[in-house]
Amino acid sequence: MSEQHVPPSGQPLVRALLERLRRDEPGCASTLAHAPALLPWSAAFESGEATIDAEHRRLFELGNEALEASRSMDTQPRVFRSALNALLVHVTRHFLSEERILEQRGYAGLEAHKRAHRELLERARELELQADAGRITIDELAEFLALDIVANHLLTSDTLFFPLMRERD
């Protein structure tokens, strides 16, 4: 396939996401099934390593669920907190799993990559504390997900190891 992946840049992605979060009504299950995802997955984001790709895909699914739930965080705080928790548990597990795979493949940038994961997890903890205190905003969640995790990490830092995955598969 000759599909060229151009990663969406972070700030416009966050802006577009916030516009949609503010414009669209929180959907009911039947309309959500047909609505395009707030953060759409693309096959162009695949690394070629099956475990990592499945986990990245799941991260998008859980991210979309947390964003949807964030629209009703004032009226249904428990639903939002549980969606945020599911997302952050998955992110934590994914980082460990990715680090194991990178170690097995002898990735030269492993230490720097682990540091980037640690920094993201520190930010995730801060967001959890804010959520517990009822002080998290949709903007902060959208920025963490769309900018820090998706645009700047999955579609930038992670892509640095894609050639290594393709070499050995």
Q: Applying CB under 5 A, which residues contact Fe ion? A: 98, 158
Nearer to Fe ion, 68 or 98 (CB): 98
Q: Which two tokens stand for residue 22?
A: 């503010």
Task: Say if residues 168 and 161 touch (Cβ distance below 8 Å).
Answer: no
CA distance 19 to 136: 18
* Least gap, CB of 153 to Fe ion (angstroms): 6
Angle at 56 between CA 106 and CA 13, to 5 degrees: 115
Nearer to Fe ion, 46 or 158 (CB): 158
* Least gap, CB of 150 to Fe ion (angstroms): 10
Nearer to Fe ion, 20 or 90 (CB): 90
CA distance 89 to 60: 13
Nearer to Fe ion, 21 or 149 (CB): 149
* Least gap, CB of 62 to Fe ion (angstroms): 13
* Least gap, CB of 98 to Fe ion (angstroms): 5
Task: Say if residues 108 and 161 touch (Cβ distance below 8 Å).
Answer: no
